[in-house]
Structure 1
Amino acid sequence: MPRVVPDQKGKFESDDMFRRLARESEVRYTGYRDRPIDERRQRFQNGVKEGHTDIAFMTNGTNMSLCFGSNGFNNNGKDVDFDKEQGKVQLRSSFILNGVCVRWKGWIDLERLDGVGCLEYDEENAAEENRALQEEIEKYKQRIREFEDKQRAFRVPHSSAHGHGHHAHAHLSSAHSLSHHHASAHNSEQNNIQVR
């Protein structure tokens, strides 16, 4: 099952959902809603440092589970940055949504647990996934070719009827008696093919 659609950029630019999510919108942390605000703040920060959090776009209610960095927390300014703006954390998360490589980009206020974010088309990861998709398609085509070659080899008659033994002759003689034809010995192979 391919991870991405063949025309990712086209889908990102034309699909209504992607167009809505590509606009900067108010977002909110959605984890542990039943807990007191102080505990939620702590859990939000801990989750981000571990490399994940849950947010929702307030304009349309779309929920997302975001993951940051391959090694969990990394404060290198790429995925998670607590230092850029005081009281806020800058976040960036790349993933595949509905067959399209996207990047969620935004910030969350550490006190209020809300902020602003949007989706962008992730050109770099899209190119990588397209390469993987093309490789998968080529492997699939190769498997089909191999399967068809095996099928053809299986259907090709053997060069001598000796492999068929008595069954071939019994089959032939019954077919010949029904159709009132007499086969000579050198035509037995050809007749065997017709009987099948």
Structure 2
Amino acid sequence: MSMSAFFRALRPSYQAEMDDLTFDSEGRNVLRKRLLEKRSQVVFLRQMMEVSPEMVAVVFHGGFHFELPAVMEHVLTLESDEFPEWHSLAEAVQLTPWAQELADSFLQEPQGDWFMTVAAALEYLFQRPSTHHHDDAAHDEHTEDAPSGTKRRGHEFDFDKDDEHDRDHDHEEASAQWLEDQGFDRKE
């Protein structure tokens, strides 16, 4: 995957921030509690969104749903001064209601559009399985959680490869159309 220097630099910092939030000193998972605490500090955090976007972007963890992954893949190739307007990503990125409320407060800031694009891209990178992870998942054995005859992949069960292929094709076609609408050449 091609990625701009901007996102290559921020990716490990975002991962480290998520790791720090996830476990306490005794190894207990406290992510939900710590995210709620961070979200209660949004007024303060907005002041940091330009200098440390990766530390602020974590407040949106779990708040994005990526409808057009190819669009996000394209955004990841852009440097920080090349981002599209946030509203142009509306078809590609959906926000949960609580995340939309947070986003509305960030979008009132002069660099709000820029920050929301960064936050979405970092969360996309965090959620996106790496090629190595995907290869491992394809070779996983059946798990206890999985219904008989299925393999667990990430957080989903793989029931029907044809349906998955159709969904991927639909997402790819919609992503290609969005990019064309934004003035980019269609990849065939």
For normalisation by structure 1, the TM-score amounts to 0.21
Give the structure with the higher percent strand: 1
Give the structure with the higher percent helix: 2
Task: Work out which of the two has the higher radius of gyration on C-alpha atoms and give 1 or 2.
Answer: 1
Name which structure has the greater RCO, CA cutoff 8 Å, separation 6+. Answer: 2
